Amino acid sequence: MIVSQILKSKATGGVLTLTSDANVADAARIMSEKRIGAVVISDDGGATPAGILSERDIVRELGKQGPSCMALVVSDMMTKKLVTCSPSDTTDSVLVKMTQGRFRHMPVMDGGKMVGLISIGDAVKARLSELAAERDALTGMVMGH
């Protein structure tokens, strides 16, 4: 399966973004309310990601600095060096990048513009669906269907 197919199967509504001057406490509240693990940081309305802020980033800083880190702006805490994928990338290649980089969310870029966000859960779900289809096809062949 390729990334564009995964994006089509996800609920529409685009990618939730915040500007780089947003407060970390507000970002954490939004992630909690929306039940999401990361928010993309973009100062141009979402076309170009400047970084990503994840639950892990916040927890890491809470461990280092304590609750005072919640008053920082997201640009102080976000991951700035983004690894992205394209709509034509395969599920396997996305999973390899996420595993090697030890992250769970990846912006999808097409022609220099962000067109979606894929999570490790999205990629695993797609891969499991592929494996089930392959199993069913092989079972059908063995059974003579």
Q: Give the domains, in start order, of the chain with CATH numbers.
A: 3-143 (3.10.580.10)
pLDDT at 137 over 90: no
Query: Of 124 and 52, which is predicted with more confidence?
Result: 52
Angle, helices 24-34/55-65, rounded to nearest 10 degrees: 140
CA contacts within 13 A on the Cβ side of 61: 21
pLDDT, one tens digit per residue, over 97-107 is: 999 999 999 99
C-alpha dihedral over 87, 90, 93, 95, to 10 degrees?
Answer: 90
Give me the count of residues in the chain.
145
Pairing outcome for strands 51-54 and 105-110? unpaired
The set of residues, in sequence order, having a beta carbon less than 8 Å from that of 93 and lying 6+ positions away, is 85
CA distance 42 to 39: 10
pTM for this one? 0.85
For the chain, give the mean pLDDT: 91
Q: Which residue from 118, 117, 122 is spatially nearest to 17, judged by alpha carbons?
A: 117
* 18: nearest Cα among 75, 103, 82: 75
Tokens of 74: 């997201």
Read off the pLDDT of residues 6-53 as tens digits, 9 standing for 90 and up.
888 886 667 889 999 999 999 999 999 999 999 999 999 888 999 999
Whether the CB-CB separation of 106 and 85 falls below 8 Å is answered with yes
